[in-house]
Amino acid sequence: MKRRSLEDSDCPIARSLDRIGDWWSLLIVRDALLGKRRFGDFQKSLGLAKNILTTRLRKLVADGVMTLAPASDGSSYQEYVLTEKGRELLVTLVALRQWGERHLFAPGECDNFLVDAEHGEKLAPLRIAAKDGRPLRYDEVKLTSRPRSTGARRSPRKTSH
């Protein structure tokens, strides 16, 4: 059964998952955030078949998450570089990692952790905060709709693939 596209969904989570929600794409972004830039480095790290890696990298480039750039060492190779859009996925990946550390690992089982590069200290747990900085619990957050003028209909968003 073919997966249904969520690109026209009213839900930002659904649209986001439509673009970068498969695990290979997020793992490629993780590796890029850790400094990997070359096809071979991604393949070695992920153990992914070349055709699948090629497809995922092309989609990440087409969606503006990564871009192709000349190799930093001056060779004739090209490298995959995260765009600002791609770098903004750091928050998402940190949230997933912290959730996994809390719920999928026994205490002390995880051998590595994220630190502040300047001070070497472990990152604080991510939190949801109100605009004024107050921390919010899950039951203090609600979904609301923006007021729409009467008779106005939303036009479908055009996206590129």
pLDDT higher than threshold 90 for residue 10: no
Spatial distance between the Cα atoms of 7 and 159, rounded to a whole number of angstroms: 8
What integer pLDDT is reported at residue 154 of this predicted model? Answer: 54
Which CATH number characterizes residue 103's domain?
1.10.10.10
Residues spanned by the domain of 61: 12-140
In a domain, 157, yes or no: no
In a domain, 151, yes or no: no
Average pLDDT rounded to a whole number, residues 140-148: 90
| 86: exposed, middle or buried (Cβ count in 10 Å: 0-12, 13-18, 19+) | buried
Give the pTM: 0.82
Spatial distance between the Cα atoms of 54 and 60, rounded to a whole number of angstroms: 10
pLDDT higher than threshold 90 for residue 108: no
Least confident of 33-37, 86-90, 111-115: 111-115
In a domain, 149, yes or no: no
pLDDT higher than threshold 80 for residue 132: yes
**Number of domains, the chain:** 1
**DSSP code at position 114:** -
In a domain, 160, yes or no: no
Q: Which residue has the higher pLDDT, 22 or 142?
A: 142
In a domain, 145, yes or no: no
> What percent of the chain has a predicted confidence (pLDDT) above 90?
68
Least confident of 6-10, 91-95, 97-101, 112-116: 6-10
Q: Which residues of 88-116 are buried (b: 16+ CB within 10 A; e: fewer)?
A: ebeeeeeeebbeeeeeeeeeeeeeeeeee
> What percent of the chain has a predicted confidence (pLDDT) above 70?
90
Q: Which residue has the higher pLDDT, 3 or 115?
A: 115
In a domain, 131, yes or no: yes
In a domain, 92, yes or no: yes
